[in-house]
């Protein structure tokens, strides 16, 4: 499924261009779907550049699963759990960035190159919280360091600390929604517009995932409906619609409206903290 025709190639080109001026990549993942929000091409694109992984929107994910993902990712990369809106985890992220900064500058000194501020870039899929994270790291009114020659015109660096500068434009990497499950998870968490897919199908997928994760209780509780053992998503959705007054003239449930409502409630965290991916036994590469 190619959801982003045209965008992908251009975004990759711009990212490669910006990476020439960058020493440190901060890859932002959605804590609810760390696997599906990670772009497997990133490794080849950033090559030897240092990387820190941020599990953002931790407030929307289940802590025990986020911790498990963090352990897996930490085997290869630094990893921090963050809520960019509430700015929680930001100090820990800054500490990790300082550690990397020291490593990078140490290597420079060993090569006989002068120490200088480390330049970082935020990278992630659409809507994952890149801008929120830039604001959390730099502060809205933080001093811009002005245009720097060699960087694509119009771009500026934000001072995160004495030794760290952050590109004020994030790099977008469009996910390759190579299988249907990845695509729907990206829809359900907001990286892909709901309008790009069949809304009802997205809602059925969500109910299917919740069933599989043993989390249908969240739907039962939030909407105040009854759900029977092994009840099909097709039969659950109209119960939600009826409760919420999503009706067509004649009193039939408007499934499309009910589906939109359910997906948006999940996206907004109204159903509570629900991770759509818990780590399995695969050999994950981040
Ligand atoms: N609950 C929660 N919401 C977040 C968090 N970080 C970002 N958001 C919300 O997610 C939405 C997208 O955030 P942005 O910072 O605009 O994401 P982005 O990656 O810059 O998005 P694009 O520029 O469209 O690619 C906004 O509604 C944010 O308020 C977080 O840690 N927790
Ligand atoms: Mg943005």
User: Residue range 157-185: average pLDDT?
Assistant: 90
Q: For residue 6, what pLDDT is reported?
A: 74
37 CA to middle of ligand 1, Å?
A: 14
Judged against a pLDDT cut of 70, whether residue 146 lies above it is answered with no
Find tokens 């992984």 and name the residue. Answer: 53
| Predicted TM-score of the model (pTM) | 0.94
Task: Indicate whether residue 88 lines ligand 1 (CB < 6 A).
Answer: no
226 CA to middle of ligand 1, Å?
A: 33
132 CA to middle of ligand 1, Å?
A: 6
Task: Indicate whether residue 105 lines ligand 1 (CB < 6 A).
Answer: no
Burial 146-184 (b: 16+ CB within 10 A, else e): eeeeebeeeeebbbbeebbbbbbbbbbbbbbbeeebbbb
Instruction: Assign domain 7-172 one CATH number from 1.10.1200.10, 2.160.20.10, 3.40.50.300, 3.30.460.10.
Output: 3.40.50.300
Judged against a pLDDT cut of 90, whether residue 174 lies above it is answered with no
Phi/psi at 116 (5° precision): -150, 165
Task: Indicate whether residue 163 lines ligand 1 (CB < 6 A).
Answer: no
Task: Indicate whether residue 37 lines ligand 1 (CB < 6 A).
Answer: no
| Choice from 92, 125, 131, 275 to test ligand 1 binding pocket (greatest atom count within 8 A of CB) | 131
Angle between helices 180-189 and 255-267 (to 10 degrees): 80
Judged against a pLDDT cut of 80, whether residue 151 lies above it is answered with no
- CA 46-51-52 angle, 5° bins: 145
**Would you give the distance in Å from CA 133 to the centre of its chain?**
11
Domain ranges of the chain: 7-172, 198-267
- Do domains 7-172 and 198-267 share one topology? The answer is no
Class of domain 198-267: mainly alpha
- Separation of alpha carbons 205 and 161, rounded Å: 44
The pLDDT confidence band at residue 2, using thresholds 50, 70 and 90, is: low
266 CA to middle of ligand 2, Å?
A: 21
Question: Whose Cα sits closest to atom 14 in ligand 1?
Answer: 129
Rank 3-17, 169-183, 245-259 by mean pLDDT and report only the highest.
245-259
Q: For residue 143, what pLDDT is reported?
A: 47
């Amino acid at each position: 499924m190619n959801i982003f025709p045209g965008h992908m190639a251009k975004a990759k080109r711009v990212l490669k261009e910006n990476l020439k001026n960058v020493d440190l990549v901060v890859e932002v993942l959605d804590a609810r779907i760390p696997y599906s929000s990670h772009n497997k091409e990133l490794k080849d694109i950033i090559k030897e550049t240092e990387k820190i992984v941020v599990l953002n929107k931790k407030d929307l994910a289940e802590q025990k699963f986020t911790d498990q993902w963090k352990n897996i990712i930490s085997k290869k990369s630094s990893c921090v759990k963050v809520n960019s809106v509430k700015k929680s985890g930001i100090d820990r992220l800054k500490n990790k960035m300082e550690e990397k900064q020291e490593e990078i500058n140490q290597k420079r000194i060993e090569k006989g190159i002068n120490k200088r501020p480390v330049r970082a870039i935020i990278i992630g899929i659409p809507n994952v919280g890149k801008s929120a994270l830039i604001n959390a790291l730099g502060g809205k009114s933080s001093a811009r360091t002005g245009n720097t020659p060699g960087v694509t015109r119009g771009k500026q660096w934000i001072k995160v600390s004495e030794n760290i500068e952050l590109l004020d434009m994030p790099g977008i990497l469009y996910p390759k929604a190579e299988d249907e499950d990845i695509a729907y998870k990206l829809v359900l968490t907001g990286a892909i517009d709901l309008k790009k897919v069949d809304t009802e199908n997205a809602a059925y997928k969500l109910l299917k995932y919740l069933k599989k994760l043993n989390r249908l209780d969240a739907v039962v509780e939030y909407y105040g409906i009854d759900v029977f053992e092994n009840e099909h998503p097709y039969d659950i959705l109209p119960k939600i619609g009826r409760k919420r007054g999503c009706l067509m003239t004649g009193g039939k449930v408007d499934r499309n409206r009910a589906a939109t409502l359910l997906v948006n409630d999940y996206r907004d965290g109204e159903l509570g903290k629900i991770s759509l991916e818990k780590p399995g036994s695969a050999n994950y590469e981040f």
